[in-house]
């Protein structure tokens, strides 16, 4: 393991790391000052473009490229939405950044807004982070005091307002157009695309939505340059013109059945095995691993024999997972029942499905009902086929849903049932000896609700 | 000319046409099933029933490149080079999946559901669904929820297409309906104390693609397969919505809007929708009456009543014809002919013109938001053809008719010796002062549906037909003329003005409004556009620039 | 076979009948000030709901009507948004302390479900409900984003991680001591 000098987490152990005075003492806001004084917005944007920074929120879309979708000569407001709705199970790196180094986030935000000529930034934070809410609001106030926000920032002529906006415990608000709908005061039903937010987003205006960790990276890219950023991580495949590479440092969360659950920083490309062994103290209690989630529960499962999977934008896909996601690894040891795991996953997605489009609304509820019947000892082998069909048919990838929540719901089903098929079959046979081979529909369980409220 | 390829068939579009995949396919007779899309509402693409395969045709190379994933046809613009595939296995599987999904928690209570026979869930199940149920058999669960005075929600039948919610927000502007909760728990509801009560509320029932929303006046009255829809025009106000009259054996059971981009788009108001019960009221007059020497109105036969009336009007020195704004233009024209040919000096009066409040424009404005351009207007003028009748009079005599309200004030009734008055529809009834004004007239003939206050001064009363029993043409507030045939037959004994005049003018055979319209279009200046056959959606009359021409209207006329 | 139920939405009856306003002048002023931060009033819906919920521990229907008036929306539009988020209580205020116990995968793997059951038993309250004395509401939450401290819970504004039965006992004891 090579020693990587943290960049994003460089300051989090300092006792006053969240204060502006401490941030400035370690060189904070110097980059902002320099950029506002000597660069144009397009130059900042191009530096980010050049760096091939890919969004850290889960989709991995190249940030600089996304910024170029904004209209060049828009006469009116441009809105920047900072997505701090971090709700992907297993993920907590945005929280760490916001609680311990809020000014890094804000400097990155202001630079990103400058690069995109945004006029107002809405900092949309999930409700469940009260400490981060306090820290960020305090930091924003400090920025206004220091003239880093407001009218004519540092005499540059650029003006920006940041409005903090609190969510209300709905996972789908992390989807970019779900966030926009929620910001606008409506239920967070994601929008159909086109039009894309860059053209018609919040309040009908061009809008950029970026993740907290992404804008933190922007700060460092502007500070040290695109070449520096590209010296870290996994280079693009020269034979594939569509490969944007996996550049830069990444915050990895690791939790579940490990000795030391934590958030660490490493170049993109760290493998699951390395993360668990070198950074999280190995599997806990001397046990062996059975499986791991590679990037938040939406990404699915790797078996223990697949822990050599590199955690970059291409690795998990090669092992049958949905992608890198939020790079939040959750480890399951040998005692975990995959039936219980899948039930937990299906319950989550059924609870969080926004309900707008038919395949997701019904498919997530149906898969939960199937798991509940299986766990109640009334499962059939037939149910595994149904689960796989549901999993294979819902999502934006087949094109059957409006947003990717359905893909996230589908992947744990597909991976769990396919990679642990015999365990599911054994469970069903064992718990329902008289009915496991029934192929006709069976009576539903007693209650109508898919999941008890709340 | 933009060219689109759908299932191997080519479709040419006009350069300015903006169609989506569903509309383009429909042109070729290809149905793309859908629930949530509606041409009069915003596109949400949430039901996912209209998923198709889409691609692009390179005009130069002829190569077709298809996208790897399915796309909703409702949000796919049909532009030059668009390729759609709707008949592949992939599309069939997607449709079957969506249909299965919608039936998972659905009560399937068709035997007690109004929508049976015109339900998309039923139809698409047969066309596109999996044959057998794969999901658990669940207990029957079908709840009812009153959303407002005329709309009931059968909660568990709802497929969450959100058409009703979007209608209330986008067209009515009143936003009483909401979705509540999240995911599979979502339901349609109203906020307590704020029921669904706007003047266009009934449209949500038309919009509902399944049996979740029911119109209470129609609920459980008639199965749709017993009804025959006939095109007609609402006679409730000067907007003149195109409608369908759903009737069975000459009994109306339901009115629905008929799509007309020039008049009402896809909508009609509740007053018009529900305002037909009087047509079958047993209190309707079905026999002519005459006041004989004993002074009471006594039932008699048509022949003797007509003979008496004709004789009286031929003897009159100052006869008056009060034209009704509920008559068709053909009836007005024939009446002008007959009454104009009388020996005496006939005066023409038009009215009364019923007015209630102001024009109501939708969407309703909310708070300080700037008003949107109206999608739909309910006219304050509660009669269908004031404009048409007035124009006929002016075309024939060169002068606008005197309005009834003005005529009442004049004391010139003393010289009048015979007057013909049409009692019109309910709501256009005459009042005590009207009867008082006519008291001095020796011969008062009333042509009406019901008994009323004019009976006291009438020498003869003739039974009229109701709007749905009429044939002919109306001209709405914007100068738009629509023609229609009777949707139901009147009770035996009732005759329309057209039928009466046709006979009195000694025309051959049965009254035939279209022939009269042809005559009218030929003989009267400014009516050429109305020459039959008239397009089923109607035609614009040339503006005359006179006082009876169409008002300036902000209504969207496409 | 269950019967069909008739559920009527009748006139509101939750007001005390004296027509008192639910929102205080201070709340109304705060909402009006928030309107200046957004280009459309509807965007103030969520902040307004939070504002009211924070002070009243629930958003009574009367408050929804008043918020709707201030934001030029129909009450249904505000309620639509409110009900989408399971967060807002409406029929009754939550307890003095509202606790969310995480049930997502990282916490579940480290015993979160058992801790939650234990907690409800010790506090003598059903999941999702408030204790008889109104002091404590215990609910489930999806991933609280503190997986490094799993299993964890959010008690008011305080995150408490590394939960065990002993930790729950300590928490309840502390509350008793504080009250």
What is the chain C residue with the closest CA to A256? Answer: C106
For position B42, which CATH number holds? 3.10.20.740
Q: Give the DSSP H/E element, type plus range, for residue A136.
A: helix A130-146
CA B423 to chain centroid, in Å, comes to 22
A130 and A273, same domain (yes or no): no
Number of residues assigned to chain B: 558
C3 in helix, strand or coil? coil
Per the CB < 8 Å rule, is B47 touching A397?
no
Distance CA C65, CA C58 (A): 14
A324 and A352, same domain (yes or no): no
Among residues A202, A231, A260, which one ends one of the domains?
A: A231
For position A288, which CATH number holds? 3.10.20.600
For residue A182, report the phi and psi dihedrals to the nearest 5 degrees.
-65, -40
Say if residue A450's pLDDT is above 90. no
Report pLDDT digits (tens) over A223-244: 999 999 999 999 999 999 889 9
Among residues A307, A333, A359, which one ends one of the domains?
A: A333
Domain that holds residue B54: 3-87
Can you name the residues that pair with B194 across neighbouring β-strands? Answer: B191
CATH 3.40.30.10 domain range(s) in chain C:
97-178
Burial of B373 (0-12, 13-18, 19+ CB in 10 A): exposed
A252 and A398, same domain (yes or no): no
Burial of B446 (0-12, 13-18, 19+ CB in 10 A): buried
Domain that holds residue A361: 338-431
A82 and A118, same domain (yes or no): yes
Cis? peptide before B126, omega within 30° of 0: no
A interface mutation test: which of B98, B162, B182 has the most A CBs within 10 A? B182
Q: Which CATH superfamily is domain C97-178 in?
A: Glutaredoxin (3.40.30.10)
Distance CA B305, CA B461 (A): 9
Q: Closest Cα of chain B to C85: distance in Å?
A: 7
Cα-based distances in Å from A15 to A12, A22, A24, A263, B200: 8, 9, 14, 18, 64
Neighbours of A191 (CB within 10 A): 21
For residue C57, report the phi and psi dihedrals to the nearest 5 degrees.
65, 10
pLDDT at B372: 79
* Residue B406 CB partners (closer than 8 Å, separation 6+): none
Spatial strand order of the sheet with C136-141 comes to: C136-141, C97-102, C153-155, C158-160
Residue A441 covered by a domain:
no
Overall average pLDDT of the B130-151 stretch: 93
Q: What is the DSSP string of C104-142?
A: SHHHHHTTHHHHHHHHHHHHT--TT-B-TTSSEEEEEES
Report pLDDT digits (tens) over C9-35: 333 334 333 357 899 999 999 999 999
Distance CA B527, CA A187 (A): 53
A34 and A155, same domain (yes or no): yes
Distance CA C62, CA A7 (A): 51
Distance CA A207, CA B507 (A): 72
Q: What's the number of domains chain A is made of?
A: 3
Q: Structure pTM?
A: 0.95
C179 in helix, strand or coil? coil
pLDDT at A452: 38
What is the four-CA torsion angle of B250, B475, B40, B67, rounded to 10 degrees?
100
Strands (E), A289-423: 289-293, 302-303, 328-333
- CB of C17 within 8 Å of any CB in chain B? no
B6 in helix, strand or coil? strand
Indicate the DSSP class of residue C149. Answer: G
Of residues B125, B206, B106, B127, the one with CA closest to residue B163: B206
pLDDT at B424: 61
Overall average pLDDT of the A157-171 stretch: 98
Overall average pLDDT of the B204-229 stretch: 98
Neighbours of B503 (CB within 10 A): 16
Indicate the DSSP class of residue B194. Answer: B
A45 and A72, same domain (yes or no): yes
A98 and A123, same domain (yes or no): yes
Q: Closest Cα of chain B to A105: distance in Å?
A: 32
For residue B189, report the phi and psi dihedrals to the nearest 5 degrees.
-160, 170
Report pLDDT digits (tens) over A271-315: 999 999 999 999 999 999 999 999 999 999 999 999 999 999 999
| Contacts with B97 from chain A: Cβ below 8 Å | 359, 393, 400
A139 in helix, strand or coil? helix
**Contact, B290 vs B298, CB < 8 A?**
yes
Overall average pLDDT of the B503-522 stretch: 96
CATH 1.10.10 domain range(s) in chain C:
25-84
Residue A124 covered by a domain:
yes
Among residues A231, A264, A290, which one ends one of the domains?
A: A231
A138 and A153, same domain (yes or no): yes
Q: What's the number of domains chain B is made of?
A: 2
For the stretch A149-186, what's the b/e string if a residue is b when 16 or more beta carbons lie within 10 angstroms of its beta carbon? beeebeeeebebbbbbbbbbbbbbbbbbbbbbbbbbbb
Comparing CB atoms, the residue among A184, A255, A340 nearest residue C148 is: A255
Distance CA A355, CA B526 (A): 56
**Contact, A414 vs A388, CB < 8 A?**
yes
Neighbours of B407 (CB within 10 A): 23
Report pLDDT digits (tens) over A97-124: 999 999 999 999 999 999 999 999 999 9
- Band (B545; pLDDT cuts 50, 70, 90): low
Report pLDDT digits (tens) over B30-61: 999 999 999 999 999 999 999 999 999 998 99
A326 and A346, same domain (yes or no): no
Say if residue B374's pLDDT is above 80. yes
- CB of C34 within 8 Å of any CB in chain A? no
Q: Which of A126-135, A156-165, B65-74, B396-405 has the lowest mean pLDDT?
A: B396-405
Report pLDDT digits (tens) over A382-410: 999 999 999 999 999 999 999 999 999 99
Residue B166 covered by a domain:
no
Report pLDDT digits (tens) over A327-345: 999 999 999 999 999 999 9
Among residues B34, B52, B87, which one ends one of the domains?
A: B87
Per the CB < 8 Å rule, is B45 touching A192?
yes
A138 and A283, same domain (yes or no): no
β-pairing, B228-233 with B402-403? unpaired
Overall average pLDDT of the B201-206 stretch: 98
| Contacts with C50 from chain A: Cβ below 8 Å | 166, 168
* CATH code assigned to C25-84: 1.10.10
C interface mutation test: which of A57, A100, A122, A128 has the most C CBs within 10 A? A128
Task: Name all chains with 3 or more CB-CB pairs below 8 Å to chain B.
Answer: A, C
Say if residue B201's pLDDT is above 60. yes
For the stretch B448-465, what's the b/e string if a residue is b when 16 or more beta carbons lie within 10 angstroms of its beta carbon? bbbbbbbbebbbbbbbbb
Q: Closest Cα of chain C to B186: distance in Å?
A: 9
| Contacts with C15 from chain B: Cβ below 8 Å | none
Residue B204 covered by a domain:
no
Q: Closest Cα of chain B to A344: distance in Å?
A: 17
| Contacts with B113 from chain C: Cβ below 8 Å | none
Q: Closest Cα of chain B to C179: distance in Å?
A: 35
Say if residue A453's pLDDT is above 80. no
Overall average pLDDT of the B422-451 stretch: 85
Distance CA A158, CA A153 (A): 6
Say if residue A446's pLDDT is above 90. no
Say if residue A3's pLDDT is above 90. no
Cα-based distances in Å from A209 to A79, A182, A353, A386, B476: 9, 13, 21, 36, 50
Of residues B64, B84, B81, B65, the one with CA closest to residue B73: B84
pLDDT at B543: 77
Distance CA A81, CA B122 (A): 44
Residue ranges of A 316-355 with Cβ closer than 8 A to chain C: 328, 330, 332, 336, 340-341, 344-345, 347-348, 351-352, 354
Distance CA B176, CA B149 (A): 13
Among residues B26, B57, B87, which one ends one of the domains?
A: B87
Say if residue A449's pLDDT is above 80. no
Report pLDDT digits (tens) over A198-207: 999 999 999 9
A173 and A132, same domain (yes or no): yes
Spatial strand order of the sheet with B539-540 comes to: B472-475, B480-484, B539-540
Comparing CB atoms, the residue among B48, B67, B134 nearest residue A400 is: B48
Per the CB < 8 Å rule, is B145 touching C76?
no
Report pLDDT digits (tens) over C122-166: 999 999 999 999 999 999 999 999 999 999 999 999 999 999 999
pLDDT at B74: 98
For position B458, which CATH number holds? 3.40.50.740
Distance CA B40, CA B38 (A): 5
Mean pLDDT of chain B: 94
Mean pLDDT of chain A: 96
Percentage of chain B surpassing pLDDT 90? 87
**Contact, B465 vs B434, CB < 8 A?**
no
pLDDT at C179: 78
Residue A356 covered by a domain:
yes
Report pLDDT digits (tens) over B115-125: 999 999 999 99
Strands (E), A268-372: 289-293, 302-303, 328-333
Distance CA C160, CA C179 (A): 19
For position A399, which CATH number holds? 1.20.1440.230
Residue A5 covered by a domain:
no
Say if residue B438's pLDDT is above 70. yes
Distance CA B303, CA B469 (A): 22
Distance CA B219, CA B210 (A): 14
Distance CA B205, CA B213 (A): 5
A140 and A279, same domain (yes or no): no
């Amino acid at each position: 393991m090579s020693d990587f000098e943290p960049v994003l987490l460089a300051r989090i152990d300092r006792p006053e790391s969240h204060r502006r005075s401490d941030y400035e003492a370690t060189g904070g806001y110097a980059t902002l000052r320099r950029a506002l004084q000597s660069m144009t917005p397009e130059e900042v944007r191009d530096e980010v473009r050049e760096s091939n920074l890919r969004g850290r929120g889960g989709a991995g879309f190249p940030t600089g490229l996304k910024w170029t979708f904004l209209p060049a000569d828009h006469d009116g407001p441009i809105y920047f939405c900072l997505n701090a709705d971090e709700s992907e199970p297993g993920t907590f790196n945005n929280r760490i950044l916001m609680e311990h180094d809020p000014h890094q986030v804000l400097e990155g935000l202001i630079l990103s807004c400058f690069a995109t000529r945004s006029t107002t930034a809405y900092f949309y934070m999930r409700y469940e982070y009260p400490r981060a809410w306090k820290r960020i609001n305090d930091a924003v106030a400090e920025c206004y005091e220091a003239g880093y926000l407001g009218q004519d920032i540092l005499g540059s002529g650029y003006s920006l307002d940041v409005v903090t906006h609190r969510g209300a415990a709905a996972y789908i608000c992390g989807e970019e157009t779900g966030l926009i709908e929620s910001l606008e005061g409506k239920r967070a039903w994601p929008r159909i695309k086109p039009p894309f937010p860059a053209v018609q987003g919040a309040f009908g205006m061009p809008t950029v939505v970026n993740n907290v960790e992404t804008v933190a990276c922007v700060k460092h890219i502007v500070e040290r340059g695109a070449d520096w950023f590209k010296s870290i991580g996994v280079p693009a495949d020269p034979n594939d013109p569509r490969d944007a590479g996996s550049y830069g440092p990444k915050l990895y969360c690791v939790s579940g059945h490990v000795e030391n659950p934590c958030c660490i920083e490493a170049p993109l490309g760290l493998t699951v095995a390395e993360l668990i062994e070198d950074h999280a103290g190995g599997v806990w209690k001397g046990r062996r691993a059975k499986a791991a989630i590679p990037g938040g529960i939406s990404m699915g499962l790797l078996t223990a024999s697949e822990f050599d999977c590199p955690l970059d934008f291409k690795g998990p896909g090669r092992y049958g997972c949905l992608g890198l996601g939020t790079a939040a690894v959750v480890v399951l040891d040998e005692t975990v029942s995959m039936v219980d795991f899948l039930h937990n996953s299906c319950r989550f997605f059924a609870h969080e499905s926004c309900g707008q489009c038919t395949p997701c609304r019904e498919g997530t509820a149906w898969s939960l009902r199937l798991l509940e019947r299986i766990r109640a000892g009334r499962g059939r082998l037939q149910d595994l086929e149904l689960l796989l069909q549901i999993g294979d048919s819902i999502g934006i990838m087949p094109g059957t849903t409006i947003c990717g929540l359905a893909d996230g719901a589908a992947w744990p089903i597909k991976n769990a049932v396919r990679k642990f098929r015999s365990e599911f079959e054994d469970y069903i046979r064992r718990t329902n000896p008289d009915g496991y081979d029934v192929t006709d529909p069976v009576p539903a369980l007693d209650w109508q609700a898919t999941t008890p409220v709340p | 000319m933009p060219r689109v390829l759908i299932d191997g068939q080519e479709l040419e579009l006009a350069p300015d046409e903006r169609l989506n995949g569903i509309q383009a396919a429909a042109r070729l007779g290809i149905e793309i099933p859908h629930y949530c899309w509606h041409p009069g509402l915003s596109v949400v693409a949430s039901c996912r029933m209209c998923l198709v395969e889409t691609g692009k045709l390179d005009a130069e190379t002829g190569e077709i490149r298809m996208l790897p994933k399915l796309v909703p046809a409702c949000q796919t613009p049909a532009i030059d080079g668009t390729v759609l595939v709707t008949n592949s296995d992939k599309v069939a599987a997607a449709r079957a999946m969506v249909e299965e999904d919608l039936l998972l928690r659905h009560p399937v209570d068709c035997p007690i559901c109004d929508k049976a026979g015109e339900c998309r869930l039923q139809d698409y199940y047969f066309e596109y669904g999996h044959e057998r149920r794969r999901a658990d058999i669940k207990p029957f669960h079908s709840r009812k929820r009153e959303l407002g005075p005329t709309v009931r929600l059968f909660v568990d039948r709802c497929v969450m297409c959100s058409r009703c919610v979007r209608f209330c927000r986008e067209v009515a502007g009143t936003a009483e309906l909401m979705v509540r909760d999240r995911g599979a728990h979502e339901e349609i509801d109203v906020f307590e104390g704020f029921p669904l009560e706007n003047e266009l509320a009934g449209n949500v029932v038309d919009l509902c693609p399944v049996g979740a929303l029911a119109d209470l006046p129609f609920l459980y009255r008639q199965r749709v397969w017993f009804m025959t829809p006939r095109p007609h025009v609402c006679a409730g106000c000067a907007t003149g919505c195109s409608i369908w009259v759903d009737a069975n054996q000459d009994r109306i059971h339901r009115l629905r809007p008929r799509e007309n981009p020039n008049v009402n788009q896809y909508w009609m108001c509740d007053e018009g929708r529900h305002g037909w019960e009087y047509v079958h009221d047993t209190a309707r007059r079905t026999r002519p009456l005459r006041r004989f020497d004993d002074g009471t109105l006594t039932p008699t036969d048509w022949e003797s009543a007509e003979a008496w009336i004709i004789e009286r009007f031929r003897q009159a020195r100052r006869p008056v014809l009060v034209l009704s704004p509920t008559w068709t233009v053909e009836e007005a024209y024939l009446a002008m002919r007959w009454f104009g040919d009388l020996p005496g000096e006939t005066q023409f009066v038009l009215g009364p013109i019923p007015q209630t409040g102001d024009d109501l424009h939708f969407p309703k404005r909310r708070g300080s938001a700037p008003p949107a351009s109206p999608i739909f207007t309910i006219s304050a003028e509660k009669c269908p053809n004031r404009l048409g009748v007035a124009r006929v009079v002016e075309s024939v005599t060169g002068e606008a008719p005197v309005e009834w309200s003005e005529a009442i004030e004049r004391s010139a009734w003393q010289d009048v010796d015979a007057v013909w008055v049409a009692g019109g529809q309910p709501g256009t009834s005459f009042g005590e002062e009207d009867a008082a004004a006519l008291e001095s007239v020796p011969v008062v003939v009333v042509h009406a549906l019901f008994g009323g206050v004019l009976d006291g001064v009438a020498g003869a009363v003739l039974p009229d037909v109701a709007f749905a029993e009429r044939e002919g043409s109306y001209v709405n507030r914007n100068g738009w003329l629509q023609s229609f045939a009777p949707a139901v037959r009147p009770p035996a004994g009732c005759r329309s003005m057209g039928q009466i005049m046709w006979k009195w003018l000694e025309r051959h055979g049965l009254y035939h409004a279209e022939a009269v319209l042809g005559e009218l279009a030929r003989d009267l200046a400014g009516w050429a556009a109305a020459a039959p056959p008239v397009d089923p959606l109607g035609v614009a009359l040339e503006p005359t620039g006179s006082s009876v021409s169409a008002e300036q209207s902000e209504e969207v006329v496409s | 076979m269950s019967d069909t139920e008739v559920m009527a939405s009748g006139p509101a009856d939750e007001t005390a009948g004296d027509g008192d306003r639910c929102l205080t002048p201070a709340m109304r002023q705060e909402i009006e000030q928030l309107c200046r931060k957004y280009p459309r009033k509807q965007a103030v819906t969520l902040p307004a709901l939070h504002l009211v919920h924070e002070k009243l521990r629930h958003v009574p229907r009367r408050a929804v009507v008043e918020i709707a008036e201030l934001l030029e929306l129909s009450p249904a539009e505000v309620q639509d948004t409110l009900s989408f988020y399971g967060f807002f209580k409406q029929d009754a205020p939550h307890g003095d302390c509202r606790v969310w116990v995480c049930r997502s995968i990282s916490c579940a793997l480290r015993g979160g479900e058992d801790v939650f059951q234990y907690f409800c038993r010790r506090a003598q309250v059903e999941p999702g409900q408030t204790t008889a004395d109104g002091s404590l509401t215990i609910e489930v939450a999806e991933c609280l984003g503190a997986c490094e401290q799993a299993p964890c819970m959010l008690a008011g504004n305080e995150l408490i991680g590394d939960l065990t039965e002993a930790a729950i006992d300590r928490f309840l004891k502390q509350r008793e001591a504080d009250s």
